[in-house]
Chains A and B, each alone.
Chain A
Amino acid sequence: MKIDFSFLSKYHEALLMGLGTTLQLTVICFGLALVLGFVLALLRGSRIKPVAWAAMLYVEFFRGTPVLVQLFWIFYCLPIFLGTELSNFTSAVVCLSLYGGATMSESFRSGLKSIGREQYDAAHALGLTPWVRTVHVLLPQAVLRAVPVLLSNGVGLFKESALISAVGMAELMFIGSTISNRTARPVEVFTAIALIYFIVAFPLTRLVAVLERRILRRLAI
């Protein structure tokens, strides 16, 4: 078998378009998942037990089931209950955001937990109101501590988004499969697809490592 990547240049526009869709999806879902994740983390710490319990159940459900199953359920089953069709893009956004929110709530939660009791003491001794304490003392520290893990979660979403090809969304993986089917050259095509994912993800994971060190140095009082 002869390995030759040169035929791929013919498809570079399609591949770029697929990558564009993948990135677009990742960024939208990352943003939505961040908001959802923080709210879930706060709810899980709620003093109202049923609220904390419901948030916990939500998180465990989405972490404990395969993303592909979640995606199929949202794409095929949810429309039956809603009585309306969902486009594959909408399904993808809903699925990855709900799933991402569940994983990110865990990152926020460990960020909140890592804030020592003496920070609460200081906030009380200074007479800070609950709102000022949450917004100006706890939230920024929780977010700062969570930034590296949250970025890792983001890279995770970027990779998970390949699953979206299963509902016919023309993102990078779907384009790759299509080219492979048409040319019968899976080795070159899927090698190239893997490399593209890696080239995007690698700098991000390195950035995570650098940020982690910097933030830890800043927060080590």
Chain B
Amino acid sequence: MYDAMTQPLASLRNIHKAYGSLTVLSGINLDMSPGERVVVIGPSGGGKSTLLRIMMGLEEITEGSIEFEGQPYITARNGKTRIDADVRKKVGMVFQHYTLFPHLSILNNLMLAAVKTRGMPRAEARDKAMQLLARLGLEAKAGAYPSHLSGGQKQRVAIARALMLDPRLMLFDEVTSALDPELVAEVEQVMLELAEQRLPMMIVTHDMWFARNIASRVIFCAGGVVVEDGPPEQVLGDPVNPRTREFIQRVFHIHG
């Protein structure tokens, strides 16, 4: 039995990832506790997105293992990655690019996985989907198709679609990077509300203002390793490591 008081939610051990000769992650160790909202920052190509994709079971790993709620989730052995499909159901993810299914209405985008693979009765899935859409102010769009929505609305639907499956951990991979600036706030607002409800999250973002607002913990990832790990005030405000310091100064300089 999983005990949230004593056991980490997710526990990453020595995660290595290489694409052929290109090493992306070289030994990530991380324990995340159930109440945490971890924001991962760092330079492009530093392995942030790869880390999230691995946690979603979308990428194989070269070495290492992940436990989730005390259960083995992902293990690499003899060059083969084993992913436990039942554990994976507890993780949800929202991507940078819109990944809604364009041939399905918003309502059906939300219902598909619940009905077809989780065996939820249609009526129940429909009620749940409508409640979620109402919560995100999108109930009027239930019958619309993704092509009729703004970028911000699409990302909110993508969040609702992931929430349909009651994830125990939500992964957000640069979900506002592709949005027009005026649409960023509506998506970040939804994420802040989820944070208030204490949904565990792991977030990759370039928006340092947002990182400071939502994070309970910030990880600076560069060169495939965790360079600095601590509370947002420290990592973003007064970083210890010179590489973190240089990155933070550069980012805040660019963003004013």
Contact = CB atoms under 8 A, between A and B. Distances in A.
Interface of A: 116, 118-119, 121-122, 124-129, 132, 136-137, 140-141, 144, 217-221
Contacts of A121: 53, 58, 95, 99
A129 B53 CA distance: 18
B112 A128 contact: yes
A127 B117 contact: yes
A141 B99 contact: no
A124 B117 contact: no
Interface string B77-104: 0000000010011001101011111110
Given A127-B113, A132-B116, A220-B147, A141 B102 contact: yes
A128 B113 contact: yes
Task: Classify the interface of chain B: helix, strand, loop or mixed.
Answer: loop
B34 interface: no
Contact of B85 (A122, A125, A127): A127
Contacts of B16: none
A161 B100 CA distance: 42
A122 B95 contact: yes
A144 B104 CA distance: 12
Contact of B88 (A118, A127, A140, A218): A127
B43 to A, nearest CB: 23
Task: Classify the interface of chain A: helix, strand, loop or mixed.
Answer: helix
Nearest to B101: A137
Contacts of B101: 119, 122, 137, 141
B161 A219 contact: no
Contacts of B99: 118-119, 121-122, 125
Among the interface residues A122, A137, A140, which one has the most CB atoms of the partner chain B within 10 A?
Answer: A122
B162 interface: yes
5 contacts: A119-B99, A121-B58, A124-B58, A128-B117, A141-B103
A9 to B, nearest CB: 49
Nearest to B53: A121
Given A141-B103, A219-B103, A219-B147, A129 B58 contact: no
B162 to A, nearest CB: 7
A116 B101 CA distance: 11
Nearest to B98: A221
Contacts of B154: 221
B116 A128 contact: yes
Contacts of B97: 116, 118
B117 A132 contact: yes
Among the interface residues B88, B92, B116, which one has the most CB atoms of the partner chain A within 10 A?
Answer: B116
A101 B97 CA distance: 35
Interface string B158-180: 00011001000000000000000
Nearest to B91: A125
B102 A126 contact: no
